[in-house]
Chains A and B, each alone.
Chain A
Amino acid sequence: MTPSKSPSTDIRARLARLAEPAAAASALRSRSIARFTERADASGLVDVAYATADSPVGPLLLASTQNGLVRVAYTAEGGEGGVLQQLAARISPRILERPARLDSARRELDEYFAGRRQAFDLAIDWRLTGPFAERVLRSTAAIPFGDCLTYGQIAAAAGSPRGARAAGNALGSNPIPIVIPCHRVLRGGGALGGYTGGVERKRALLAIEGVEPPR
């Protein structure tokens, strides 16, 4: 299309400019969005509410159902999209960003990272874990701040003394890291072992708890 000063071009250009972000980001838009989110939540239509949070181990996505905290995800590497997609497929696509529903989780995590909290007091929704993994993760949740167990010990605690490898798998797919402290489970012989968010994060979390991380 050739540039022209005809009224036709002017009107079309002016119409196209109405869609520009500066115009769209009006008070009407932000108020409409905020009120919709509130009403959706109040109507019980939000099956999964989520929020994002910064932390010393990178950005986190926190997600909660009506039953409790269901997911904590590290998003620095993979972004939020994949996590939301997984939640949509496994729980419900009725997912909305609703930070108010994650207030207590965010506050407790902040306190933990600031060294002012040693145990989390949050309702947990275990639906993303199978029965064996849930037993392993519940045993893991009982490991006190600053303590560590081995994969073999945690398997035994979950009632499966020879299931160290299976326990390792369950911990590796822990949907609620940090809050369910799978970083407190090390390999036998003092090795660090793996971690769902990478071993550097495991090291950092153990350091927060005053544990000298093994090599």
Chain B
Amino acid sequence: MPVAFQSFFDAHAGVVLGFLVSLVGPQEAEDCFQETFLAALRAYPDADRDTNLRAWVLTIARHKAIDAFRARGRRPDPVADTEDGPWAPRASAPMPSPSTADPDLWRAIRALPDKQRGAIFLRYVADLPHREIGEALDCSEAAARRNAHEGLKKLKETWS
């Protein structure tokens, strides 16, 4: 039984946006979010009903994040981005952070290596199981677990 795209969208828009913010920052996330769901909407009638649709759309999101960086002729370099990258507010168009509650923490997530920040977000913010994180990040379950663990360790060091 097919599910209306709107229901699929309502269920996963939040996690996809947060995942993208953790990967590319809020500036790029907005465009990537739209590209992700436009691609998902195009492919949706043919999507295999037996696949995990959340992991499916997170995989699309990760590819759109990579495309966005390629389009700008650079690879996702978290360290270079941190000080003056997508996170830095633009004077002309101030961007609200996805969570005004804890901007320091978002910034710290953004400073992690890209595999770790994706895994950190999916594991500890979105509360996804490691198996699904592996699917979304195109790595093994063990690697997903390791990345989430390493990322958490680094975040803890930030505040120790």
Chain A residues at the B interface, C-beta cutoff of 8 Å: 7-8, 10-12, 14-20, 22-24, 26-29, 31-33, 35-36, 39-40, 43, 45-46, 48, 50, 81, 84-85, 87-89, 92-97
Q: How far is the CB of A40 from the nearest CB of chain B, in Å? A: 6
Q: How far is the CB of A98 from the nearest CB of chain B, in Å? A: 9
Q: Does B82 sit within 8 A of A, measured CB to CB?
A: no
Q: How far is the CB of B25 from the nearest CB of chain A, in Å? A: 11
Q: Which residues of A contact B42 (CB under 8 A)?
A: 45
Cβ–Cβ contact B3 & A23, under 8 A:
no
Q: How far is the CB of A159 from the nearest CB of chain B, in Å? A: 35
A15-B105, A32-B30 given; A96·B99 CB < 8 A: no
Per the 8 Å Cβ criterion, residues 71-102 of B in contact with A are: 95-102
Q: How far is the CB of A43 from the nearest CB of chain B, in Å? A: 7
In the complex, A152 Cα to B155 Cα: how many Å?
76
Cβ–Cβ contact A28 & B156, under 8 A:
no
- Chain B interface, DSSP helix/strand/loop, else mixed: helix
Q: How far is the CB of A94 from the nearest CB of chain B, in Å? A: 5
Cβ–Cβ contact A16 & B26, under 8 A:
no
Q: Does B125 sit within 8 A of A, measured CB to CB?
A: yes
Cβ–Cβ contact A18 & B18, under 8 A:
yes
Cβ–Cβ contact B102 & A14, under 8 A:
yes
Cβ–Cβ contact B125 & A96, under 8 A:
no
Question: Which single residue of chain B is at the shortest CB-CB distance from A25?
Answer: B14
A32-B30, A94-B41 given; A85·B159 CB < 8 A: no
Question: Which single residue of chain A is at the shortest CB-CB distance from B15?
Answer: A19
Cβ–Cβ contact A23 & B38, under 8 A:
no
Question: What 6 A-B pairs are tightest by C-beta distance, nearest first?
Answer: A23-B99, A15-B124, A84-B4, A95-B4, A93-B2, A88-B2
Q: Does B51 sit within 8 A of A, measured CB to CB?
A: no
Residue pairs across A and B with Cβ atoms less than 8 A apart, 6 shown, are A14-B102, A15-B155, A20-B101, A26-B100, A88-B3, A88-B4
Cβ–Cβ contact B120 & A36, under 8 A:
no
Cβ–Cβ contact B124 & A29, under 8 A:
no
Most buried by A among B6, B37, B96, B159: B6
Cβ–Cβ contact B98 & A23, under 8 A:
yes
Q: Does B45 sit within 8 A of A, measured CB to CB?
A: yes
Chain A proximity mask over B1-27: 1 for CB below 8 Å, otherwise 0? 111111101000110011001000010
Cβ–Cβ contact B3 & A85, under 8 A:
yes
Cβ–Cβ contact A28 & B45, under 8 A:
no
Q: A24-B14, A36-B38 are in contact. List 20 more A-B contacts (CB 8 A).
A: A7-B159, A14-B102, A15-B125, A17-B101, A18-B99, A18-B105, A19-B18, A23-B98, A26-B99, A28-B96, A31-B30, A32-B34, A45-B41, A48-B4, A50-B6, A84-B7, A88-B3, A89-B1, A94-B5, A94-B44
Cβ–Cβ contact B160 & A33, under 8 A:
no
A12-B124, A18-B18, A39-B38 given; A24·B4 CB < 8 A: no
In the complex, A62 Cα to B126 Cα: how many Å?
33
Q: Which residues of B contact A84 (CB under 8 A)?
A: 4, 6-7
Which one of B45, B102, B125, B156 lies within 8 Å of A94 (CB-CB)? Answer: B45
Cβ–Cβ contact B34 & A35, under 8 A:
yes
Per the 8 Å Cβ criterion, residues 95-113 of B in contact with A are: 95-102, 105-106
Q: Does B29 sit within 8 A of A, measured CB to CB?
A: yes
In the complex, A19 Cα to B38 Cα: how many Å?
24
